[in-house]
Amino acid sequence: MSASARLPRILVIGTGDTKSEELLFMAEVIGRAGGLPVMVDVSILGDAPYVPDHSKHDVAAAGGTTIAEILESGDENSAMAAMARGAVALVRDLCAAGAVDGMIALGGSLGTDLALDVAAVLPLGVPKFIVSTIAYSHLLPPERIAPDLMMILWAGGLYGLNPICRAVLSQASGAVVGAAKAVEKPGGERPLIGMTSLGSSCLKYMKVLKPELERRGYDVAVFHSTGMGGRAYEAVAARGEFAAVFDFCIQEVTNAENGSVVTSGPDRMENAGRAGIPQLIAPGAVDMVDMPAWQETPARFADRPYHAHNRLIASVTVSPEQRRAVAHVVAARMAAASAPVAFFLPVEGLQEWDREGEPLHEPEALDAFLSEMRRAVPPSVSFTEVAAHFNAPQFALKALEVFDRWVDEGIVERGRIA
C-alpha cells in the first residue's frame, strides 16, 4: 500500500495504568478520523487494562533497563526519566523504520516531561501534539520544545472523562490525524538558509536578503527572535539542516543575560557553530531587553528608555555596562564555532527604534557597545565594520558580498537555480 493510501500511524503515548479511559477514547477518535492509533504504554507501577502495541516492558527495554530496575530507583522523578529514555529510543527506532506519521501524548507534569523528550527526536514534518495540564506554562523551558510542537491544555480532565475533557481530547486527536494527512514535509531541492530577525518595524534587512538569496537558488527560513522563534532556529541548526545562516538578530542573548522570560534557552548562538554551519552574524537589537508589556516593568529597568511594541511585548534598553558584557558573550560563542564565521558591525545603529528621535536612541551607550565589540571579536572571525545603520540597504549588501565570496570559495553550497 502506498504512503498516500494507507492510514496515518499515530503514536498514542501515556500511562495506561492511570489514564486508560482517556487514552482509549483518544484512540477511538483517531480511528474515526481516519488514523491508525499505535498505543505506547509508559506506565511504571501498574498495567494497562488493554494490550498496547508497545508495552511498558518494551519501553524500558529500549532504554536498556527493566521495569523492576526502574521501580528500584525509589522516586517518581528518576523512574519517569528512565521511561523517557526508553520512549525516546523506541520512537527514534520506529521513526527510522518509517513507522511513525504522528504522535500524541497525554499527561500532567510527569507525562509532559516525557512527551517533550519524545517530540524532540521526531523530525520536522512529523506532527507532534501534547495534551498537558501545564500547556503554555513557564514551567516549560524553551530548549525542551520542538520547533513544530502543538499543545493544548488538558482542561478538566485530570481524573477521568467528562464533557469538557472529551471536547479537548477529541480536538487534539482529530488535529493530529488531520495534520498527518495534510502535512507537506520540509526538504526541497534547494539548499536552506536560516535567518533570524524581528518584525520589519524593528529590523528590515530580510526584505533585501531574502529575495536576493532566493534569486541565487536558495530557500530562506526567517525565524522571529522573540524567544520561541530563536528556539526553533537553534533546533533546526542543531540538526545541521542549514547550508548557512544569517544570524542577524541575536537579541535573545541579551534577554537571557538579563533575566528576561523572552528567551530561547541557554544555547542561543551555539548550535550552528557546533554543527559546522557557516555563519554570518550581526548584533541586531542586542541593545534592548524584551519583557511582557502587560506586566509592570522590573525595578532594575525602571529608569531605562522604554518602548511598547504592542499589548504583549515591550522593550527597554540595557546600560552601557550590560552592552559591554553582551559583547563578550557574543564573541565567546563565535569563537567556539567549528566552521567559518563572519561578523558585521553596523556603526550607526542596531535597530529601528534607536535612531535619533526614536524612544530607544542612546548614542553614548551604542558607542560603548561598538568599542567593546571591536575589541572582543576573536581572531578566528572575519570582521567587517559597516558605515551604515542596521536597516540601511548597504548593510545587507555588504553581507551578501561575503556570502557570495564564500559560495565561490566552496565554503557554502552553491544554490540551485531552476
CATH of the domain at 76: 3.40.50.12020
Q: Confirm whether 282 is domain-assigned.
A: yes
Rg (CA), the chain: 24
Single-letter residue type at 183? V
Q: Backbone dihedral region of 47: left (phi > 0), alpha (psi from -120 to 50 degrees) or beta?
A: beta
- Rounded distance between C-alpha atoms, residue 108 and residue 354, angstroms: 44
Return phi, psi of residue 415, to 5°. -70, 165
**Average pLDDT, integer, range 306-332:** 96
Q: Are residues 251 and 387 in the same domain?
A: yes
Q: Which of the listed residues 126, 153, 182 is the one where a domain comes to its end?
A: 182
- Domain region containing 384: 192-409
- Which pLDDT does position 4 carry in this prediction? 53
Q: Are residues 173 and 36 in the same domain?
A: yes
Q: Confirm whether 187 is domain-assigned.
A: no
Q: Are residues 202 and 312 in the same domain?
A: yes
What is the domain count for the chain? Answer: 2
- Name the residue among 219, 205, 214 with its Cα closest to residue 386: 205
- Rounded distance between C-alpha atoms, residue 101 and residue 126, angstroms: 6
- Name the residue among 291, 148, 314 with its Cα closest to residue 233: 148
Q: Confirm whether 107 is domain-assigned.
A: yes
Residue 158 has pLDDT above 80, yes or no: no
Q: Are residues 109 and 215 in the same domain?
A: no
Q: Are residues 143 and 234 in the same domain?
A: no
Q: Are residues 155 and 255 in the same domain?
A: no
Tens of pLDDT, residue by residue over 357-381, are: 999 999 999 999 999 999 999 999 9
Q: Confirm whether 332 is domain-assigned.
A: yes
Residue 126 cell numbers, joined: 512529523
**Average pLDDT, integer, range 334-352:** 97
Q: What is the pTM of this model?
A: 0.90
Q: Which of the listed residues 161, 182, 203 is the one where a domain comes to its end?
A: 182
Q: Which of the listed residues 182, 207, 233 is the one where a domain comes to its end?
A: 182
CATH of the domain at 337: 3.40.50.12030
Considering only 154-163, 250-259, 297-306, which range has the smallest mean pLDDT? 154-163
Residue 3 has pLDDT above 80, yes or no: no
Q: Are residues 256 and 126 in the same domain?
A: no
Mean pLDDT (the chain) is 95
Q: Are residues 26 and 160 in the same domain?
A: yes
Q: Are residues 169 and 262 in the same domain?
A: no
Q: Confirm whether 352 is domain-assigned.
A: yes
Q: Are residues 84 and 170 in the same domain?
A: yes
Tens of pLDDT, residue by residue over 179-209, are: 999 999 887 789 999 999 999 999 999 999 9
- Which pLDDT does position 172 carry in this prediction? 97
Residue 130 cell numbers, joined: 501534547
Q: Confirm whether 3 is domain-assigned.
A: no
- Which pLDDT does position 76 carry in this prediction? 87
Q: Are residues 91 and 240 in the same domain?
A: no
Q: Confirm whether 254 is domain-assigned.
A: yes
- Which pLDDT does position 27 carry in this prediction? 98
**Average pLDDT, integer, range 169-184:** 97
Q: Are residues 141 and 230 in the same domain?
A: no
Q: Which is more confident, 75 or 50? A: 50
Q: Confirm whether 418 is domain-assigned.
A: no
- Which pLDDT does position 5 carry in this prediction? 67
